[in-house]
């Protein structure tokens, strides 16, 4: 008799992706300026540590809030006792106001239509449970965040069908790519329930254009399906063009036929740099989705103490205005530092990079062949020899070998400079070892790329994996 369930023993979690394997190696040998200066520098973690001093300064000026006091009196008992899963009204109001402020107050959000969740991971999974059945599918543009294979699929049984985007147009979504993904799903006998995008994109670090967003809305309207816009990086846009939320497009179109089919995911993990607080949210104008998601949120609530503290912080408009502006300035400076360091090593980044906590880095010229196996070889050298943990494009389901995601906001400027020096030394050594005669590898077609995928690079469902092997 089997003691564990199929879910507990299955392979579909995605933990054996190179994205997570790099983290494991880092944890075995983490860099420390004093204790372990030759350790691995973590550049695979999209965490914003650049503006913690602003948060800490606010807490110092508001000790009663941090001490769970109101007007000098303790409210610890009130916060510690049971709270229902609808959340504190004061926090929900402060959160939707903050979301609107990040979007330049061009749109507003109704606090009655927001559902609080334990981070965006919980929010995305909850939406999958609400919108799709096991064996149905969502279309996602590539490259996409590796954790989605876990967040969207593992417990829900929902399938991901890639919308194949390429560097030829800076990985923008096109109508032919959308239609091809839809046809690919039909060939697999999958019913497509919607499209999901990250805007700004993880891992590209780019914002979606108005034309892309209108294309997506036209597509879901024509197919009668849903659109999920994961906008957890909306406050990290530091260069033009600015961020355009799907909610702004809906407002401009004023099309009541699609309002209840578009859902926004948000979180304070990236914009406010508080991933440990586990604060996420679903915003939807669909009453049935809000009601169902609210019931499901009981499996991943945000603590009342966290809500109370953040309601006060986000309700301080002078603080939020200064934080948003200063944080974006710091991100812009740090991104420039990374790009400059990469350029000195002869490495370029995606030119449209204007948001996020990372850059999409082009190392195709460092591959010994145009295959994902060559990408894995390069990744292993960078991980074990250069001792930098970066995320290979294949872990993000990129269709072109040689792209990598590099994070820049989770470390000090000194650490970033050390990382760039290490990488420059490596590239120079590689060039010397190969007689400085490497040429940029050109694309050789999807079929050869797909055949070169190593089994352990990233795990899709067993069905996905069989299809890859057959190509």
Q: What angle do CA 98, 101, 104 make, to 5 degrees?
A: 160
Q: Could you confirm whether 145 is annotated as catalytic?
A: yes
Q: How far apart are CA 122 and CA 128, in angstroms?
A: 10
The catalytic residue among 153, 261, 270, 424 is 270
Q: How many CA atoms are closer than 13 Å to the CA of 324, on its beta-carbon side?
A: 19
The catalytic residue among 232, 282, 324, 382 is 232
Q: Could you confirm whether 220 is annotated as catalytic?
A: no
The residue assigned the tokens 């914009």 is 271
- Cβ pair 46, 407 in contact under 8 A: yes
Q: Which two tokens stand for residue 85?
A: 């899963």
- Cβ pair 101, 324 in contact under 8 A: yes
- Cβ pair 400, 443 in contact under 8 A: yes
Q: How far apart are CA 65 and CA 272, in angstroms?
A: 17
The catalytic residue among 19, 145, 238, 266 is 145
Q: How far apart are CA 107 and CA 248, in angstroms?
A: 6
Strand partners, 40: 30
Task: Give the contacts of 143 (CB within 8 A, at least 6 positions apart).
Answer: 165, 171, 203, 204, 360, 393, 396, 397, 398, 403
Q: How far apart are CA 41 and CA 50, in angstroms?
A: 17
Q: How far apart are CA 370 and CA 441, in angstroms?
A: 6
The catalytic residue among 230, 271, 362, 464 is 230
Q: How far apart are CA 309 and CA 68, in angstroms?
A: 8
Q: Could you confirm whether 270 is annotated as catalytic?
A: yes
Peptide bond into 200 cis (omega under 30): yes
Helix (H, G, I), strand (E, B) or coil at 432: helix
Q: Could you confirm whether 230 is annotated as catalytic?
A: yes
Task: Give the contacts of 73 (CB within 8 A, at least 6 positions apart).
Answer: none
E strand or H helix that includes residue 80: helix 76-80
Burial class (CB in 10 A: 0-12, 13-18, 19+), 99: buried
The closest of 393, 394, 390 to 403, measured between CA atoms, is 393
**Active site members:** 145, 230, 232, 270
């Amino acid at each position: 008799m089997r003691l564990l369930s199929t879910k507990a023993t299955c392979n579909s979690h995605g933990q054996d992706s190179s994205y997570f394997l790099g983290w494991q190696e880092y944890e075995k040998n983490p860099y420390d300026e004093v204790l372990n200066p030759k350790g691995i520098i973590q550049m695979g973690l999209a965490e914003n540590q650049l503006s913690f001093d602003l948060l800490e300064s606010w807490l110092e000026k508001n000790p009663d809030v941090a001490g769970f006091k109101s007007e000098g009196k303790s409210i610890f008992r009130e916060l510690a006792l049971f709270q229902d899963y609808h959340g504190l009204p004061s926090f929900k109001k402060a959160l939707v106001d903050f979301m609107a402020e990040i979007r330049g107050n061009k749109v507003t959000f109704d606090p009655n239509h927001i559902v609080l969740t334990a981070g965006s991971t919980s929010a995305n999974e909850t939406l999958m449970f609400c919108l799709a059945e096991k064996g149905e599918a969502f279309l996602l543009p590539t490259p996409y965040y590796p954790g989605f294979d876990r967040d969207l699929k593992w417990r829900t049984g929902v399938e991901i069908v890639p919308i194949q985007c390429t560097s030829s147009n800076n990985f923008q979504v096109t109508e032919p790519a959308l239609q091809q993904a839809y046809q690919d799903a039909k060939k697999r006998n999958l019913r497509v329930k919607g499209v999901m995008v990250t805007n700004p994109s993880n891992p590209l670090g780019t914002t979606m254009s108005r034309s892309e967003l209108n294309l997506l809305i036209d597509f879901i309207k024509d197919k009668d399906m849903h659109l999920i816009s994961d906008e957890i990086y909306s406050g990290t846009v530091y260069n033009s063009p600015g961020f355009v939320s799907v909610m702004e497009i809906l407002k401009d179109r004023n099309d009541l036929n699609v309002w209840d089919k578009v859902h926004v995911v948000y979180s304070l993990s990236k914009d406010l740099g508080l991933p440990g607080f586990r604060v996420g949210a679903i915003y939807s104008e669909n009453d049935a989705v809000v009601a169902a998601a609210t019931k499901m949120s009981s499996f991943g609530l945000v603590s009342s103490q966290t809500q109370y503290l953040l309601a006060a912080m986000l309700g301080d408009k002078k603080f939020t205005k200064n934080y948003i502006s200063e944080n974006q300035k710091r991100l812009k400076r740090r991104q420039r530092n990374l790009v400059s360091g990469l350029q000195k090593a002869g490495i370029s980044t995606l030119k449209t990079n204007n948001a996020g906590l990372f850059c999409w880095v082009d190392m195709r010229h460092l591959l010994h062949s145009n295959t994902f196996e060559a990408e894995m070889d390069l990744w292993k050298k960078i991980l074990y020899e250069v001792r930098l943990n970066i995320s290979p494009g294949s872990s993000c389901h990129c269709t072109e070998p040689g792209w990598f995601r590099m994070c820049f906001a989770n470390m000090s400027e000194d650490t970033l400079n050390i990382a760039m020096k290490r990488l420059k030394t490596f590239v120079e050594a590689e060039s010397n070892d190969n007689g400085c005669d490497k040429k940029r590898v050109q694309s050789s077609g999807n079929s050869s790329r797909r055949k070169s995928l190593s089994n352990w690079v990233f795990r899709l469902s067993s069905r996905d994996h069989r299809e890859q092997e057959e190509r």
